[in-house]
Amino acid sequence: MITLENVSKVYHTKSGDVQAVNNVDLKIEKGEIFGIIGYSGAGKSSLIRLLNGLEKPTKGTITVAGHRIDTIRGAKLRQARLEISMIFQHFNLLWSRTVRDNISFPLEIAGVKKQERLKRVNELIKLVGLEGREDAYPSQLSGGQKQRVGIARALANNPKVLLCDEATSALDPQTTDSILDLLVDINKRLGLTIVLITHEMHVVRKICNRVAVIEAGNIVEQGEVLELFRNPQQQITKRFLNQDSEPEETVEQLRAHYSDGKVLKLSFIGESTEQPLITNLIRHFDVNVNILQGKISQTQNGAYGTLFIQLIGENSVINQAIAFIEENKIGVEVIENE
């Protein structure tokens, strides 16, 4: 659905050239939810603007939904953009128009007749869960509702690709989750290809199938989300993963509080979480298992997370239990008591 070959973008500024995107090769399949993660200034916005033709590459070729975005211009580019839609961090709604009229706007531009427009807008309002809010103005909506309007408007002309530019960065965690759920729902229902740029790993974990990590304009690592979580290669990827894991003080607290037996940190990735591990531990070993804390979440390709447990019993039996956990391909780290 999307192919970038050897794409670079250099901005020529008064203070010199800025290499925002550097020799990027990327292939995104139809129906994927693909994440591009990077820190501020890494080149994410430049990359996403290249995908919808708002910027032209300095070199390389860009094909999106069958269109050579790097070369087409004018009416052809506008036509192609109907198939490549976008949502934004700050929603970019028209403040003097109601929800209904905001969603209707791209249909008006595309010359869709009034009767058909009304029908389509009603469908979209239902799809994004905004029934009852049709006549509200953006200023009367919560952040999550505003983004729902943004999503409905982006879907109005039945695009093939939806680009999401930090679409949940201005929202609180709960609202973020509901918007991400909506994106997954739309992806499944409509088979829409979604590309999202973000600086938050939990967004990638929750909804992406694959992810690329961008640093100083270069894609330094890419792959299946769980694979990347299991086996990050680059320092920057590890930093992003730390952002999404237990804070250091929690581990310190656990160490201090639970001095009996051993405290273990279990890491679950993918299918291993399906196993009834705790039941098996109690059944097979003469140990008491105390669940201390944990967070296991679902990714698009299986579960991911950590669980802290305390094992109390004979030292030799605890060691056997640890070996058993390892045999089951669950990551285990002993949190030593100080």
Ligand X SMILES: Nc1ncnc2c1ncn2[C@@H]1O[C@H](COP(=O)(O)OP(=O)(O)OP(=O)(O)O)[C@@H](O)[C@H]1O
**Residues engaged in binding ligand X (CB under 6 A):** 11, 13, 18, 20, 38, 40-46
Between 20 and 226, CB nearer to ligand X: 20
Q: Report whether 270 contacts 328 (CB < 8 A).
A: no
Terminal Cα-to-Cα distance of the chain (whole angstroms): 54
Between 40 and 115, CB nearer to ligand X: 40
CB of 58 to ligand X, least distance (A): 12
Which DSSP string corresponds to 157-194? T--SEEEEESTTTTS-HHHHHHHHHHHHHHHHHH--EE
Instruction: Using alpha carbons, list the distances in angstroms from residue 48 to 92, 164, 166, 199.
Output: 16, 8, 11, 14
CB of 15 to ligand X, least distance (A): 9
No. of H helices and E strands in the chain? 12, 14
User: H or E stretch including 46?
Assistant: helix 44-51
User: H or E stretch including 149?
Assistant: helix 143-155
Measured in degrees and rounded to the nearest 5, phi and psi for residue 70 equal -70, -20
CB of 248 to ligand X, least distance (A): 26
CB of 235 to ligand X, least distance (A): 18
CA–CA–CA angle 147, 152, 157 (5° rounding): 140
CB of 16 to ligand X, least distance (A): 10
Measured in degrees and rounded to the nearest 5, phi and psi for residue 261 equal 55, -140
Between 38 and 232, CB nearer to ligand X: 38
Measured in degrees and rounded to the nearest 5, phi and psi for residue 297 equal -125, 160
Between 104 and 198, CB nearer to ligand X: 198
Between 41 and 191, CB nearer to ligand X: 41
Between 19 and 320, CB nearer to ligand X: 19
Residues in Cβ contact with 29 at an 8 Å cutoff, skipping those fewer than 6 apart? 1, 193
Between 40 and 316, CB nearer to ligand X: 40
CB of 214 to ligand X, least distance (A): 7
**Which region, left, alpha or beta, applies to residue 101 given φ > 0 means left and ψ of -120 to 50 means alpha?**
alpha
Q: Report whether 212 contacts 18 (CB < 8 A).
A: no
CB of 249 to ligand X, least distance (A): 28
